[in-house]
Chains A and B, each alone.
Chain A
Amino acid sequence: MISRRLALRGTAVTAALAASGTNVAFAADKTYRIGITLPLTGADAEAAHLILNGALLAIKLANASGELKGIMLEPMVLNNATATAGQYDPAQAATNARKLAGDTMVLANVGPEMSGSGKAMAPILSMADLATITPSSTAPALTDPQFAGEFVPGGKPIYFRTVTTDAYQGPNMANFYAEILKVPSVYMLDDSGAYGVGLADAFAAQAKIKGIKVLGRDRLDPKAADYSAVLTKIKATSTSSLYYGGTMQAAVKLVKQSYQIVPSIVKGGGDGILSPEMMTAAGFPAAEGWYATNASPHVVDDPKLASWVALYAKTYNMQPDDYAITAYDAALVAIAGIKAVLKSGKPLIAANVRDAIQTVHVNGLQGPISFDKYGDLTTRVVAVFQFKQDKSAPLADMNKQTHYIGVAPQS
């Protein structure tokens, strides 16, 4: 058995050498790895592949440019999804985090996509001082010092983000309601979930500061079908707007029934409703006019990025979205950290790369990127979209069925 295993290992090494021989320009180059952990199969697969390719493109371009003198970066792609979960699976994410932490050639990680996976990965990566840069997970707890014992047991922040958090999504949207839409009053709803309640709380607090009258607050049971009683109650308050914190499960019914009962008031929510289900399940005309936000700037249509978008589309045969851009930026952050370590002359190990990322300033596709002492992005851009039907486009086409309004005013 041993000899057989050794023989297999020998074959693998030869194969690896052969493979690297075709890619590596200089024989002296040393190969290090960057992890990429995403739910690549199941329900989240489509979005995850857009993110994956963003990160791969950044690594590919860095290798090709030779900017990391004497170093080649090899992406180590791990699937955070399982067949049993049918989508992202925090248990698998934890297994992957252990794999990354146990590999001394891994310098940093890009991912995860989901906050649920992030919560499973953060404690393991923290003990290994291995930085991860997430392009899309927005739960504030992951970087909140209040939960440091849970998610940062190693002491130093390792969870960096190239998107902002829900702690800004809610308040910035409240500013948008007050300053742009100029609504005098709002009724608050949430879906009883941690995300939805947190988002609605953050919105309501800022709305009060901005002088919007909060006329009431109700909690929807996402599994219930009938919200007509709550909506009748809302109608009776003569509120001029409605804000909903939550995901699509309750939103499908809320959007339909609010169209029947309170059709003309302003309605909006967070990134939980910036979803194709808004068109495919809730449907037009009910979804028409709803506002939704995203925790990153909307730059994919920016003319300045046209050549990057074209390169991405040509390389991977798909159109990037905003999280493909934040993923590209996340990989840029990891590469910048590695460059800084190389420049300082310190040993090239994950802990030193983490220290470098903490203070790095990167010119990303979305703009300048740097982190606060907890790992959160110092810019807090929240993009606002409005659902507007485009009858010529497929229903699930987010780019066509939503209209980009602009950046929500920051507090």
Chain B
Amino acid sequence: MTGSAIFLQQIVNGVSLGAVYALLALGFTLVYGILELINFAHFSVFMVGAFVALVVLQAFGLQGQSVILHGAPLVFTLFVALIVTMVVSGALGVLIERYTLRPMRNVKGPMAMITTIGVSYILFNLVLLATNAQAINFPDPMPQANYQIGGVVIRLKEILIWIVSIVLMVGLNLFVKRTKLGKAMRAVAQDPEAARMMGVDVDTVVMIAFFAGSALAGAAGMIFGLYYNFAQYSIGYTAGLRAFTAAVLGGIGNVPGAMLGGLVIGLIETLGSQYIAARWADVIIFSILIGTLVFRPAGLLGMLAPNRS
């Protein structure tokens, strides 16, 4: 491989990785934008999403990498699995909000955030016990198709990740910017009291934000499983922390910022591994988090949610 081919290949690797981080970062950003709450349960919803997708794909009779589908059956299977995963993960998010966070809504201080850490650990340990801490082989019905451009290999899976991520991210952005519900969300983010007085049902808006964020985490979980072909109870934490960094980097509360942040973190990880060393990836990523917080607390694109007085 030539130097430029290596560089471009690492860009391809980084963009795919960044897409997963970006999808996860959106969930953080959405909830933070509305409640100013960092939702650590998001890590585990992502992980549970991967397992939901695993169960759905297995229900289609897919085991490991032995069954390969093509054409319409492939699209149908993946589409159904994606919808089921997103609905189940979204519902899980709604349940978490309804039963653990809503009672804390008016409690000041870090109580709600600590509750999300608790919920995260409960889900983490439930899956740990259910799977005996084993990594599970994730079904992969996609053909092993590669496209070679110059010295750079792009896999069919990578193209799929990019398409699904872009569709979901653009869809979310349009939803927040263009729809009435999106407008209500932004209103609640700015001033929940005033929004309520204007007739906005704050509880419903918060519920929808949790549903959308968790559904995206579920989608990220399924994409993760298809891309890496494994699922394990621990996948939420490494990916989740990096996604959180991405959200802060882009400007927490800011939807395009989360996408940009995810992409930047993914690229830093792969280019850092190539030109420095893989073992330094975390050091570099979290140094960037600290640097951002110190020098540009609002993130690259700034926070959209204004500070409440």
Q: Which residues of A contact B (CB under 8 A)?
A: 43, 86, 192, 218-221, 223-230, 232-233, 235-236, 238, 248-249, 252-253, 256-257, 260, 277, 280-286
Q: Which residues from chain A contact B277 at a C-beta distance below 8 Å?
A: 218-219
Q: Which of B263-306 contact A (CB under 8 A)?
A: 269-274, 277-279, 281-282
Given A236-B6, A283-B137, A284-B65; A229-B274 close (CB under 8 Å):
yes
With A and B bound together, what is the CA distance between A30 and B10 in angstroms?
Answer: 72
Q: B224 to chain A: which residues have CB within 8 Å?
A: 225
- A43 to B278 Cα, complex, angstroms: 31
B9 within 8 Å of A by Cβ? yes
User: Which residues of chain A are within 8 angstroms of B10 by Cβ–Cβ distance?
Assistant: 229, 232
- Tell me whether A223 and B281 are in contact (CB under 8 A): no
CB <8 Å contact, A218 and B278: yes
Neighbouring B residues of A283 by C-beta, 8 Å: 64-65, 137, 229
Interface residue from A221, A230, A257, A281 paired with B134 (Cβ < 8 Å): A281
B23 close to chain A: CB less than 8 A = no
- A233 in contact with B273 given A256-B228, A280-B137 (CB within 8 Å): yes
Please pick, from B1, B144, B235, the residue contacting A236 in the complex, using a CB distance under 8 A: B1
The closest CB in chain B to the CB of A280 belongs to B137
Tell me if B162 counts as interface (CB < 8 A to partner A): no
- A232 surroundings in chain B (CB, below 8 A): 6, 9-10, 13, 270, 274
- Supposing A225-B228, A256-B229 touch, asked if A281 and B135 sit within 8 A by C-beta, the answer is yes
Identity of the chain A residue whose Cβ is nearest the Cβ of B132 in the assembled complex = A43
Q: Which of B10, B228, B235 has the most CB of A within 10 A?
A: B228
16 contacts between A and B (CB under 8 A): A219-B277, A221-B282, A223-B237, A225-B224, A226-B17, A228-B13, A229-B10, A229-B14, A229-B274, A230-B273, A253-B228, A256-B228, A257-B228, A260-B155, A281-B134, A286-B65
A-B pairs, 7 with minimum CB distance: A229-B273, A229-B270, A281-B135, A219-B279, A283-B137, A252-B135, A236-B1
A140 to chain B, nearest CB (A): 23
For residue B239, CB closer than 8 A to chain A, the reply is yes
Indicate which residue in A219, A228, A284 contacts B64 across the interface (CB closer than 8 Å): A284
Count contacts on B: residues with CB < 8 A to the other chain.
39
Which residue of chain A has its CB nearest to the CB of B274?
A: A233
Closest-CB distance, B263 to chain A (whole angstroms): 14
Residues from chain A with a CB closer than 8 A to the CB of B232 are 252
Out of A43, A256, A284, name the residue touching B230 (CB < 8 Å).
A256
CA distance A235 to B238 in the complex (A): 25
Residue in A closest to B270 when the chains form the complex, CB atoms: A229
Which A residue sits closest to B238, measured CB to CB? A223
Measured between beta carbons, the chain A residues less than 8 angstroms from B274 are 229, 232-233
Task: Verify if B115 is at the interface (C-beta below 8 Å from A).
Answer: no
Contacts of A223 in B (CB 8 A): 234, 237-238
Closest chain-B Cβ to A181's Cβ sits at a distance in Å of 24
Per the bound structure, the CA–CA distance linking A257 and B229 in Å amounts to: 9
> Shortest CB–CB separation between residue A193 and chain B, in angstroms?
13
Contact: A226 with B228, CB < 8 Å?
A: yes
Q: Which residue of A lies closest to B65 (CB)?
A: A283
B159 within 8 A of A: no
B228 touches A280 (CB 8 A): no
On chain A, the residues within 8 Å of B238 by CB distance are 221, 223-225
A282 to B65, CA, bound (A): 10
B163 contacts A by Cβ under 8 Å: no
Interface residues of B (CB under 8 A from A): 1, 6, 9-10, 13-14, 16-17, 64-65, 132-137, 144, 155, 224, 228-230, 232, 234-235, 237-239, 269-274, 277-279, 281-282
Min CB gap B57→A, angstroms = 14
Residue of B nearest to A237 (CB): B1
**Which DSSP category, helix, strand, loop or mixed, fits chain B's interface?**
helix
Chain A min CB distance to B259 (Å):
18
With A221-B278, A281-B136 in contact, is A229–B269 under 8 Å at CB? yes
Q: Within the complex, what minimum Cβ distance (angstroms) separates A278 from chain B?
A: 11
Q: Knowing A229-B274, A230-B273 are in contact, say whether A224-B281 is a contact too (CB < 8 A).
A: yes
Question: Which of B1, B13, B134 interacts with A229 by CB under 8 Å?
Answer: B13
Does B270 lie within 8 Å of A228, measured CB to CB? yes
Give A256 to B271 CA distance when docked, in angstroms.
21
CA distance A283 to B228 in the complex (A): 12
For A223, give the chain B residue with the smallest CB separation. Answer: B238
What residues on B are CB-neighbors of A281 within 8 Å?
Answer: 134-137, 230
- Across the interface, A282 reaches (CB within 8 A) one of B137, B279, B282, namely B137
* B50, chain A: closest CB distance, angstroms: 10
Q: Which of A192, A226, A238 has the most CB of B within 10 A?
A: A226
Complex CA gap A43/B234 in Å reads 18
Complex contact B239–A225 (CB within 8 A): yes
Q: Are B133 and A192 in contact (CB under 8 A)?
A: no
- Smallest beta-carbon distance A394→chain B, Å: 13
Closest partner residue, chain A, to B267 (CB atom): A229
- Which of chain B's residues have a CB closer than 8 A to the CB of A277? 134-135
Q: Which residues of A contact B239 (CB under 8 A)?
A: 225
What residues of A have a CB within 8 angstroms of the CB of B9 in the complex?
232
B146: shortest Cβ distance to chain A, in Å?
9
Question: Chain A contacts of B17 at CB under 8 A?
Answer: 226, 228
Bound-state Cα–Cα, A283 to B13, Å:
23
Give me 8 other A-B pairs in contact (C-beta within 8 A), A43-B133, A223-B238, A232-B13 excluded.
A218-B278, A219-B279, A229-B13, A233-B274, A233-B278, A253-B230, A281-B134, A283-B137
CA distance A197 to B16 in the complex (A): 29
Question: Chain B contacts of A256 at CB under 8 A?
Answer: 228-230
Shortest CB–CB separation between residue B73 and chain A, in angstroms? 22
- Tell me which residues across on chain B come within 8 A of A229, comparing CB atoms: 10, 13-14, 269-274, 278
Question: Considering only CB atoms, which chain A residue lies closest to B266 in the complex?
Answer: A226
Least Cβ distance of B264 to chain A in Å? 15
